[in-house]
């Protein structure tokens, strides 16, 4: 083929309508783009890496059910109080009735409320664990969340096993008013009794952990662990800056900033979390023997 014929064929290929990229249908959920670095990933590959970007280590949101699979030894999960659900004690209404909002969240997530609690093993060591789920009303802490966590801690104290809470929350649930704020003291009281028995408590702070959760059980651990780049705060940036009349650093509510200032003890990637928990639990079990 001469150079002229090759150039003509190439031009015809470019102008041909036999291959139209607009006609290609890519199924949803096959590819996902990292919000931080822009890496385009096969969704199943991202799931295999526990929803952590392999290029920049960005931690994607994950559900409580996925957390159970990631952390708890296979076939050892036993849910506690999984039927416990809120019943709108105040008859609260904003843009939507609170009772209707709860029903919508239950239908959407398959959960009864914003936390799952249960017993299981991590590295063949028994634990009691509560896993908050941000999908359910922003992981907000209502009376059911507080009650389930309190009962879980009481079971851990009775069985003399470590307690773990994975925190993911926007704070107290405004639709339950004072009843929500009371959960801060209730859960903290249960943790105090757990501590008196010399038992281990590990809070794991994921993004976001804010409000009344940060102000109570998220900061009461023997070791406070956080995921990288997690948003951890009590109040929002604007509220704090308006209160103290000062500008704050861009990263002041991140895991890294809090670690540098002594608020948390460890920053652990999700991909390493189970191995790190096995190390901590094993060390603690040797200490109390």
Q: Give the residue ranges of the annotated binding site for Zn(2+).
A: 34, 37, 53, 56
- Strand spans (E) along 34-162: 40-42, 78-79, 115-122, 125-132
Residue 203 · residue 226 · CB < 8 Å: no
Six token digits for residue 253: 């509510």
3-state secondary structure of 42: strand
Residue 46 · residue 60 · CB < 8 Å: yes
| 210-232 as b/e: b if 16+ CB within 10 A | bbbbbbbbbbbbeebbbbbbbeb
Give CA–CA dist 286/43, Å, rounded: 40
Give CA–CA dist 268/278, Å, rounded: 13
Give CA–CA dist 72/50, Å, rounded: 14
Angle among Cα 239, 240, 245 to the nearest 5 degrees reads 105
Strand partners, 121: 126
| Kind plus residue range of the DSSP H or E element containing 106 | helix 98-109
Give CA–CA dist 150/114, Å, rounded: 14
Tell me the binding residues: 34, 37, 53, 56
Could you tell me the CA-to-CA distances from 92 to 7, 9, 89, 95, 170 in Å, in that order? 72, 71, 8, 10, 19
């Amino acid at each position: 083929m001469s150079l002229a014929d090759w150039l003509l064929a190439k031009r015809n290929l470019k102008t041909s309508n036999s291959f139209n990229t607009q006609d290609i249908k890519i199924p949803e959920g096959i590819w996902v783009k990292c919000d931080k670095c822009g890496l385009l990933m096969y969704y199943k590959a991202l799931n295999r890496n526990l929803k952590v970007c392999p290029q920049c280590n960005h931690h994607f949101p994950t559900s409580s059910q996925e957390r159970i699979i990631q952390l708890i030894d296979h076939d050892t999960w036993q849910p506690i109080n999984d039927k416990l659900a809120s019943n709108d004690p105040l008859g609260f209404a904003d843009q939507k009735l609170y009772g209707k909002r709860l029903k919508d969240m239950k239908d959407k997530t398959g959960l009864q409320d914003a936390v799952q609690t249960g017993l299981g093993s991590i590295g063949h060591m028994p634990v009691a664990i509560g896993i908050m789920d941000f999908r359910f009303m922003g992981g907000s802490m209502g009376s059911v969340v507080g009650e389930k966590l309190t009962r879980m801690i009481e079971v851990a104290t009775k069985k003399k096993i470590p307690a773990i809470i994975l925190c993911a929350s926007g704070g107290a649930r405004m639709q339950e008013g004072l009843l929500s704020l009371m959960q801060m003291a209730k859960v903290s009281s249960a943790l105090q009794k757990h501590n008196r028995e010399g038992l281990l408590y590990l809070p794991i702070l994921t993004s976001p952990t804010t409000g009344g959760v940060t102000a109570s059980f998220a900061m009461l651990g023997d070791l406070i662990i956080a995921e990288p780049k997690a948003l951890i705060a009590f109040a929002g940036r604007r509220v704090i800056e308006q209160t103290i009349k000062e500008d704050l650093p861009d990263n002041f509510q991140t895991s890294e900033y809090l670690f540098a200032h002594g608020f948390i003890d460890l920053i652990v990637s999700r991909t390493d979390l189970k191995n790190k928990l096995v190390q901590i639990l094993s060390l603690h079990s040797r200490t109390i023997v």
